[in-house]
Amino acid sequence: MKKLIVLSGAGISAESGIRTFRDMGGLWEEYDVTEVASPMAWENNRDLVLKFYNERRKQLYEVEPNCGHMGLAELENDYDVEIITQNVDDLHERAGSSKVLHLHGELKKVRSTGDPSLIYELKGWELKEGDKCEKGYQLRPHIVWFGEAVPAIEDAIPIMQSADILVIIGTSLNVYPAAGLLQYTSRDIPVYLIDPNEVVPPSSNIISLKMGAGKGVKELKKLLMEKMNNEQ
């Protein structure tokens, strides 16, 4: 089976009702990123950080995967699919995708501030000041904040190197090191880009599907099917 690697971002979850970060009306228009998503914010303004992530978590329990997530999960019938996502939601998993690597953490998990190896599934949506790990340290959201290392990037590099087909979907490719992962795929593989906006300059090996995730994944499946038939 060919290896199909997906690099996804906030746009894949937009049609589920989760706001992106940098579009018009995106989260970073309402919030200053350094005030809610940085170690400094955690030190200086913990209530706001907890509130921000509690709101996101609460909403995650109210939304469902969309046809984009579902379509990617269905591709596992024909391809060895691995998803590298910048998203902290669990919509890829809930749609049925079996291999999902979260580069920026997971909203439904929390971890110890004193021992980062202690990671827990949070019961319910609310994390509070005073919620502690088994060693007595305060728990924090299991999210990679700005200025923090992205440990999962080490696992993402070999996955990118193994790609026979790359699909980029719903990411503005603004944030590093995630955006830098593109340099690790072989230059001759087909790259499909699904995004209603232009995120990279058009080039010969990029097949751009300028549309939303639901429609885009449907179109992708059609193109992949045609390609597979031509190759047989």
| DSSP category for residue 61 | T
Here's the x/- map for ligand OAD, 9-48, by CB under 6 A: it reads as: xxx--xx----xxxx--x----------x-----------
> Given the rule CB under 6 A, which of 92-100, 151-159, 181-189, 196-204 is the region that contacts ligand OAD?
196-204
Number of other residues whose CB lies within 10 A of the CB of residue 3: 16
Q: Which is nearer to ligand OAD, 72 or 194 (CB)?
A: 194
Residue closer to ligand OAD by CB (options 139, 217) is 217
Active site residue 104: yes
Its sign, for the CA torsion 46, 106, 175, 161, is positive
The reply to whether 218 sits near ligand OAD by the rule CB under 6 A is no
| Interface pattern 70-109 for ligand OAD (x via CB under 6 A) | ----------------x-----------------x-----
- Measured distance CA(20)–CA(86) in Å, rounded: 11
Given a contact cutoff of 8 angstroms between Cβ atoms, the answer to whether 162 and 5 are in contact is: yes
Q: How far apart are the first and last CA of the chain?
A: 13
Burial level of 190, CB count in 10 A (0-12/13-18/19+)? middle
Choices 5-13, 51-59, 121-129, 181-189 (CB under 6 A): range interacting with ligand OAD: 5-13
Pick the closer one to ligand OAD by CB: 133 or 217.
Answer: 217
Please report, as a single letter, which amino acid is at residue 137: Y
Residues in the chain: 232
Smallest distance, Å, CB 232 to ligand OAD?
A: 31
Q: Is the dihedral of CA 197, 6, 70, 209 positive or negative?
A: positive
Residue pointed to by tokens 């228009």 = 29
Binding site for ligand OAD (CB under 6 A): 9-11, 14-15, 20-23, 26, 37, 86, 104, 144, 170-172, 174-175, 194-197, 199, 212-213
Q: Please list the active-site residues.
A: 104
